[in-house]
Amino acid sequence: MLHRVNLASCLVLWITSCAITLAVDPNDYMARALQLMSETPLIDGHNDLPWQLRSQFNNQLNKVDLNKLANTHTNIPKIKDGRLGAQFWAAYVPCDTQYKDAVRQTLEQIDVIHRMCQKYPEIFMFATSSQDILDAFKMNKTASLIGVEGGHSLDSSLGTLRTMYQLGVRYLTLTHSCNTPWVDNWLVDTGSEPSEHKGLSSFGKQVIAEMNRLGMLIDLAHVSEEVMNQVLTLSKAPVIFSHSSAYAVCPHKRNVPDDVLRRVNETKGIVMVNFYNDYVTCSNTASLSDVADHFDHIKKVAGADIIGFGGDYDGVPRVPEGLEDVSKVPNLVAELLRRGWTDEEVKAALGNNLLRVMSEVEKVRDSMSGVIPDDVPIPYEDVQNPCRTSFGYPSTTGSNGSAHLLSTLALLITLALQAWITLTG
């Protein structure tokens, strides 16, 4: 009888072993990819669906059904098929808003992300911490975080930075494709724009310190190489590149050079690979395999521990064949496995690297809990323009607001003279 019991037990173990082997057949790369994605959340660093909601619907979310939205890279069925565990939604407004209504428009983008989570609570869970991401994953929901894309959205105000943090913003991309009054953008490296600050100004360094104190991720996508290196030296916490690729594979100035990749490794940060064709192959066309080449290169130069996913879906006009929308990301995971990436390396890139970085940023914040907020404003001469008042700054003319009035009048006179010369010329 005992012999029969042992035989039966062995048979059950053998059948179970075979079933597990079949379920994770090492040669069935897609099955392995989906298995790993069920164990570790796919965290994507940058998605511009909120901008599509503005540009197509003027943020009238009541007129949109994300279950049926068909002309975007991202909708709810695609999110489910893509096994999207967490997403940093970009609160982006164009550089044209700088010195005008950038703060208002950014707040409206933050608002539409909150409302998206509220409208689809069974799909999205608003998240502000590494633990929130894990909690959402356990509930089979997509953790939804906010990243503000571009320092121009702050209007050079540390108070605005703090307010946005209170509204749930957890990363700030220091620039978009324009200089701000305190930091240079990537176009400086192309020679198409002049450097205004040789990287960061003194106020820019204040921004970095305040972001460390708050526990806000510093995003170096879109900045100049000088800024990359300055921030890597200054920041007490690891940094992210939310949607950038490898410069050695595609020499576009939006990508990250090898020496910076190594510094990201040394400081325990992360580079989340962008899928935009122009940053993948430096041409209009690209394939999934080309994107995997960036993953391989970053891994070779700086290790698998600094890699993540930063698709840039719905923010770019061209994406690679095989990665046509959010639903296709498992294809890339399967390709990495086919190329010999280990399960642990894939899980690191999927989400564990970002969770580690975010957790470390939170630890730095906690260690700075005794540091008071920085309330020293940017010098007025650095931001003076006809659309900005000077309330609170010391008056240099003896009458409140007269300096602003004079600068405005001077601008209007100049414009009038230019118009007159054009008409009479």
Catalytic residue among 48, 189, 210, 293: 48
CB within 8 A of 307, min separation 6: which ones?
270, 271, 272, 273, 295, 298, 299, 348, 349, 353
* Nearest alpha carbon to residue 274 among 230, 327, 332, 226: 332
Catalytic (active site) residue 149:
yes
Calculate mean pLDDT across residues 333-361: 98
Catalytic (active site) residue 3:
no
Catalytic (active site) residue 176:
yes
Calculate mean pLDDT across residues 289-314: 98
45-72 pLDDT, tens digit per residue, is 999 999 999 999 999 999 999 999 999 9
Catalytic residue among 73, 197, 243, 294: 243
Catalytic residue among 44, 46, 197, 225: 46
Catalytic residue among 73, 197, 222, 252: 222
173-198 pLDDT, tens digit per residue, is 999 999 999 999 999 999 999 999 99
What φ, ψ does residue 382 adopt, rounded to 5°?
A: -80, -15
Catalytic residue among 44, 219, 312, 314: 312
- As a whole number of Å, the end-to-end CA separation of the chain is 111
Dmax over CA atoms of the chain, in Å, equals 112
What φ, ψ does residue 73 adopt, rounded to 5°?
A: -70, -20
Calculate mean pLDDT across residues 314-334: 98
Q: Above 60 in pLDDT, residue 344? A: yes
Catalytic (active site) residue 325:
no
Catalytic residue among 44, 73, 132, 149: 149
Give the predicted TM-score (pTM) of the model: 0.89
The per-residue pLDDT for 411 is 54
Catalytic residue among 176, 197, 294, 404: 176
Catalytic (active site) residue 375:
no
Catalytic (active site) residue 25:
no
Instruction: Please tell me the total number of residues recorded for the chain in this structure.
Output: 425
Average pLDDT, the chain: 92
127-177 pLDDT, tens digit per residue, is 999 999 999 999 999 999 999 999 999 999 999 999 999 999 999 999 999
- Whole-angstrom CA distances from 198 to 81, 182, 187, 194 are 45, 10, 13, 9
* Window from 1-15, 99-113, 359-373, 386-400 with minimum mean pLDDT: 1-15
Beta strands at 270-273 and 307-309: parallel, antiparallel or unpaired: parallel
Catalytic (active site) residue 259:
no
Radius of gyration for the alpha carbons in the chain, expressed in angstroms and rounded:
24
